[in-house]
Structure 1
Amino acid sequence: MADPPQIVLLLLLLFPIAAIHSNAEETFDVRRHLSTVTRSLSLSLSSYHVAKDISENSFVPSNIGDQCKPIHLNLVARHGTRAPTKKKMKELEALATRLEVLLENVKEQKSSVQNIPAWLWEWKSPWTGKHKGGELISEGENELYQLGIRTREKFPELFHEDYHPDVYPIKATQVSRASASAVAFGMGLFSNRGNLGPGRNRAFAVTSESRASDIMLRFHDCCQNYKAYRKSREPAIDKLKEPVLNEITQKLVKRWGLNFTLRDVSSLWFLCKQEASLLNTTDQACALFSPTEVGLLEWTDDLEAFILKGYGNALNYRMGVPLLEDVIQSMEQAIKAKEDGLVPGSYEMARLRFAHAETLLPFSCLIGLFLNGPEFEQILREEPLQPPPKPPQKRKWRGSTVAPFAGNNMLVLYSCPTNNSSNYFVQVLHNEHPISLPGCENSDFCPFEVFKEKIASPHLKHDYNSLCSLLSEQSEQTTPTSKFSQILSWFFPSDAAQHQKAEL
């Protein structure tokens, strides 16, 4: 038997090691790695848990002086957490049937069932029996309601006026989850400002354009050129994902003793994202994957968003020019009202918009967020950027940060009087946190004229109809193909790339 000093030494050596292993396990939370299905509002925190990803880049926000006062706010927000769509619910029902077949095969072959997770034997889709989908759920309502409250608390100078639709216009797409998000936000923003019910709520207006012509918030749906580009590229994206899915499928088959296919693994990953995000369940589908495998699957989702909605092609975000024009126009109107000496409440104080990931993500690209070094100059030249690097390499482009549920960009216009004149600045908050602007020397507090000339104007020289009309783009049809060929070359050696392109 070891004497007491040796025992003490062993305890000192063992417990720190155990603590390190414990901390490593605790720091990995699958709910932070769900790409654009990530919840913006942590279930246990009152602030964005994705803010960790922003703050890790050691960016120090600007110190805004007391002489600077906010005079206008632009908000572009994604809807809150929603239920799976009808199409995806059918996929989960098909997965339940497929799992039954796999488990029955194990029984018939008299294989070992000891390693198979117990939940699989009785699993049914939680959405079985539902006939509709895609709606904003209660967690999503609360995300936007709390965002409304926090916005008013953060900018009391902008939201102390009585409500009027011309002072606080609220716009949403005609998709119900977006308009419901706008209502939830408005209930928080104007809470205790009316006389309706015990919560002293008040009525407010939410306006929408027709889905067929909403080039402001659903520009992706109205852009024929983009729809053709996306349709032609989606099969190629699946090909890019295959190597990762193949590798993970082989590991899962060996680990759990079930003959999973690539399609099975893809459906199980989707189930993991839905369970973790909507049900806060992380010990079922998500537990089938190791942290490393989760990281790779998250990367494939981020890669898809990058190529089809982000910096992978200039058309992805350039088609958002009507929205950027609207933002710049609202700021110019606020500056004119300030210069004309109009009193607050007699002009528009905030322009509030609620839409989708397909809106927020391109808009973030238009103002140059999540770029490194010379990449901002590349997008001004309409060059596709290198895709987000594969784990374990670090990357800025993460769907969980760029466009989570209830994700948002706030562009706050400040007036900073100096020597009897006013200087105007724009601060960009991404998910409520200041973020650097590569187009403004990586500052988050950018002179309005610099923001307009260096960041907005290079995009605003493009016309939406010219970008999106198939007829007017006939002469440039090879551009998306050549850009995508470049992306393929980043993933495959030259010989393999030629074979891959021929196959596609």
Structure 2
Amino acid sequence: MAARNPLWRRTPLNRSWQNIILSLFVIVFIAQLSAPTQAQAQSIANDDNILAAANPQGKKDSSPSLSWIQKHLGTKSPYPHGDKRASPLRDTPKGYELAQVHLVNRHGTRYPSSSKIIAYQKLAAKLGKTAVPGYEWLKTWPGGELYPVEQGNLLTPNGDSDLYQIGRRFGIRYKDFINRYPYDANTYDIRSSMKPRCTQSAYSFTEGFFQGHHTSVEVNGIKQDKSKRPPLQPVAISTLPAGLDKEIAIQDSCPRWVEKIKEDDNTVHEMEVYQKTFLPQLAERLTSLLSNGVSQVNVTTKDVESIYGICSYEVSVYNNDKTFCELLKRGGPVSESKNSSFVNFEISGDLDDYYVFGPVIPFNRHPGCFLGTNLANSIEAALTADPVIPEDDELGPSYYRGVFKFGHSETIFFLSTFLGLHNQTSVYLTGDMTPEQYAQRDFYTSKISPFSANIAFEVYRPKPSNAIRKRADSPKGLVRLLVNEDPTIIPGCGSTYFCEWDTFKQILQKQGAGCDYEACCVLDPADGQTCLSIDPLTRNY
């Protein structure tokens, strides 16, 4: 009998090699069982091609980050709290004192409308029919729990936090001002749109603003019983019914703007031109992404717009870009470049708001003129004399130390247009511009009117020892503009943040302060009534 090869003796080492070989056979067998179908393989290949095209240098991950997406969601962008710092006001011009603060604030983060919530749930059910691996979450997406229908358009918990944080930072900034002028209803004028999300925002802001400045601790030298007073400073918040509010819920009070601009088909023409360059292709890619040999999901352009809408709320409400935003990342160019799906949607939204609210249509200055007129009158009074309380307290004082107004994105847009901010004076936005031209635009809604956007004015007047103020005199003073809490140069005021009141007053008058709001907002203005044009400055259609 032939001798056995000693190399094949049963040893612990040989048994280990045998186990390894057996394991390899098992792994190969399992891999064959789980191999993707031809359709799935093609879908994966398509995704890889998209990723490769968007990432030609082979970077590890070129998908837009959550922090990047948060800054490119138009009016659904969350407020950039991380960029803001709380510090006391320390740069008051020498010889001046802060006499008045104006604030116009958009409401905080809100839920989608009830109708959109229902539409989003239906879309999730439609997309959930996909059998492509990796998208099982569409079948169980808890839309009804995340966005309760009965809470449509209401402020979210982080919407409360938005305004509280902003109010707290303003309260720290103006600590000395609040100490000098503690709260009462004749010192601070607080107004809101009648919408609950706005009145709730006003409450949250004032809670932060007056924190630590409770006026009922001691009254006329007599200390109050803490157990019998409210823990926070109560404030009076005024509202007006829709249609009568010409400062905050503006569009409801200007029928001419609604009919001739907002509801006119030409207003959305440029947006539609641009959408044709990316929406159909994105719908096709998402259809391919969610379809295979087992299931076919037809994604329409309307579906794509809704996907972007849900993505926007997922990010702004829950800081989550791993659901519907992921569809946009995988279904389209995913780099943080000018060609990404998010940038395309941002430009599309900007084109919409630019024509509906922006400076390209001269009449869009008019809806903000009543707000601008009251701003001018209030500043003039604050720089002229100390406030006088009339005998009839229903009339209010001659001016307030603080004027706070809480409204909507339209409030911010109309005031910005009235002031000439983001004027896009070099090249007006159209739907057929180059990516380079879009990148140079001034009109970014993500920066102009995210949730909780705000515009503030600090009014400084000479200290009493430096000037005698009489109503007959031309009042002297300085005005500084803050946009989303950052000092901003007022257009027309040169290169300084502190604008002479005489100069700013002329700017406001030129823009339309003192306008006849009602006369120009009726559908058919009377003969001889001078109103701004409702036509765009340039028409390419």
TM-score by length of 2: 0.72
Which position in structure 2 is the counterpart of 1:243? Answer: 277
Aligned equivalents of 1:352, 1:312: Cα separation in 2: 28
Q: Is the 8 A contact 1:93 1:128 kept in 2?
A: no
Displacement of 1:208 after TM fit? 0.8
Aligned equivalents of 1:63, 1:162: Cα separation in 2: 22
Displacement of 1:153 after TM fit? 1.2
Please give the secondary structure, in 2, of the residue aligned with 1:77.
strand
Q: Is the 8 A contact 2:307 2:324 kept in 1?
A: yes
Query: CA RMSD for the aligned pairs?
Result: 3.4
Output the amino acid matched with 1:271. I
Displacement of 1:88 after TM fit? 1.3
Q: Is the 8 A contact 2:120 2:310 kept in 1?
A: yes
**Residue 433 of structure 1 pairs with residue 467 of structure 2:** no
Question: Structure 1 pair 470/371, CA: closer, same or farther in 2 (3 Å)?
Answer: closer
Output the amino acid matched with 1:130. V
Question: Structure 1 pair 302/246, CA: closer, same or farther in 2 (3 Å)?
Answer: same
Please give the secondary structure, in 2, of the residue aligned with 1:440.
coil
**Residue 302 of structure 1 pairs with residue 302 of structure 2:** no
Aligned equivalents of 2:516, 2:282: Cα separation in 1: 44
**Residue 446 of structure 1 pairs with residue 464 of structure 2:** no
Q: Is the 8 A contact 2:409 2:449 kept in 1?
A: yes
Please give the secondary structure, in 2, of the residue aligned with 1:437.
coil
Question: Structure 1 pair 462/410, CA: closer, same or farther in 2 (3 Å)?
Answer: same
Question: Structure 1 pair 479/157, CA: closer, same or farther in 2 (3 Å)?
Answer: same
67, 76, 87: which one pairs with 2:95? Answer: 67
Aligned equivalents of 2:175, 2:413: Cα separation in 1: 28
**Residue 219 of structure 1 pairs with residue 272 of structure 2:** no
Aligned equivalents of 1:238, 1:346: Cα separation in 2: 45
Aligned equivalents of 2:413, 2:174: Cα separation in 1: 24
Matches within 5 A, 1:323-402: 323-337=371-385, 348-371=400-423, 385-387=428-430, 391-392=435-436, 393-402=439-448
Question: Structure 1 pair 245/199, CA: closer, same or farther in 2 (3 Å)?
Answer: farther
Output the amino acid matched with 1:246. P
Which position in structure 2 is the counterpart of 1:483? Answer: 536
Question: Structure 1 pair 339/359, CA: closer, same or farther in 2 (3 Å)?
Answer: closer
Q: Is the 8 A contact 2:104 2:412 kept in 1?
A: yes
Please give the secondary structure, in 2, of the residue aligned with 1:319.
helix
Question: Structure 1 pair 118/474, CA: closer, same or farther in 2 (3 Å)?
Answer: farther
Question: Structure 1 pair 235/259, CA: closer, same or farther in 2 (3 Å)?
Answer: same
**Residue 168 of structure 1 pairs with residue 221 of structure 2:** no
128, 138, 142: which one pairs with 1:120? Answer: 138
Displacement of 1:203 after TM fit? 1.1
Which position in structure 1 is the counterpart of 2:287? Answer: 253
Which position in structure 1 is the counterpart of 2:264? Answer: 232
460, 472, 477: which one pairs with 1:414? Answer: 460
Displacement of 1:317 after TM fit? 3.0
The structure whose residues are more often helix, as a share, is: 1
Instruction: Deviation per CA, 1:33-61: give whole Å up to 9, x if none.
Output: 1101111144xx3728xxxxxxxxxxxxx
Matches within 5 A, 1:121-160: 121-126=139-144, 127=146, 130-160=149-179
Q: Is the 8 A contact 1:148 1:185 kept in 2?
A: yes
Please give the secondary structure, in 1, of the residue aligned with 2:244.
coil
Output the amino acid matched with 1:247. Q
32, 39, 47: which one pairs with 2:84? Answer: 47
Displacement of 1:154 after TM fit? 0.9
Please give the secondary structure, in 2, of the residue aligned with 1:322.
helix
Aligned residue pairs, count: 433
**Residue 178 of structure 1 pairs with residue 224 of structure 2:** no
90, 94, 99: which one pairs with 2:118? Answer: 90
With 29-38 and 252-261 compared, the bigger mean Cα shift is at 252-261
Aligned equivalents of 1:315, 1:76: Cα separation in 2: 21
Q: Is the 8 A contact 2:106 2:412 kept in 1?
A: yes
Question: Structure 1 pair 204/417, CA: closer, same or farther in 2 (3 Å)?
Answer: closer
Matches within 5 A, 1:18-57: 29-42=68-81, 45=82, 47=84
Aligned equivalents of 1:474, 1:80: Cα separation in 2: 42
Question: Structure 1 pair 130/416, CA: closer, same or farther in 2 (3 Å)?
Answer: same
Which position in structure 1 is the counterpart of 2:106? Answer: 78
TM-score by length of 1: 0.77
With 350-359 and 190-199 compared, the bigger mean Cα shift is at 190-199
Which position in structure 2 is the counterpart of 1:286? Answer: 325
Aligned equivalents of 1:24, 1:260: Cα separation in 2: 22
**Structure 2 unaligned blocks of 5 or more:** 1-55, 218-225, 292-296, 329-333, 389-396, 469-475
Aligned equivalents of 1:137, 1:451: Cα separation in 2: 37
Displacement of 1:143 after TM fit? 1.1
Aligned equivalents of 1:199, 1:154: Cα separation in 2: 25
Instruction: Deviation per CA, 1:434-493: give whole Å up to 9, x if none.
Output: 11222212432211110110244331253212221112179999954x528x34x2xxxx
**Residue 202 of structure 1 pairs with residue 233 of structure 2:** yes
With 120-129 and 180-189 compared, the bigger mean Cα shift is at 120-129
Output the amino acid matched with 1:277. S
Q: Is the 8 A contact 1:216 1:322 kept in 2?
A: yes
Question: Structure 1 pair 87/130, CA: closer, same or farther in 2 (3 Å)?
Answer: closer
Question: Structure 1 pair 269/339, CA: closer, same or farther in 2 (3 Å)?
Answer: closer
Output the amino acid matched with 2:443. W
Q: Is the 8 A contact 1:426 1:448 kept in 2?
A: yes
Q: Is the 8 A contact 2:178 2:213 kept in 1?
A: no
Question: Structure 1 pair 63/204, CA: closer, same or farther in 2 (3 Å)?
Answer: closer
Aligned equivalents of 1:352, 1:271: Cα separation in 2: 32
Question: Structure 1 pair 272/128, CA: closer, same or farther in 2 (3 Å)?
Answer: closer
**Residue 265 of structure 1 pairs with residue 304 of structure 2:** yes
Q: Is the 8 A contact 1:158 1:349 kept in 2?
A: no
Q: Is the 8 A contact 1:92 1:267 kept in 2?
A: yes
Which position in structure 2 is the counterpart of 1:403? Answer: 449
Displacement of 1:138 after TM fit? 1.1
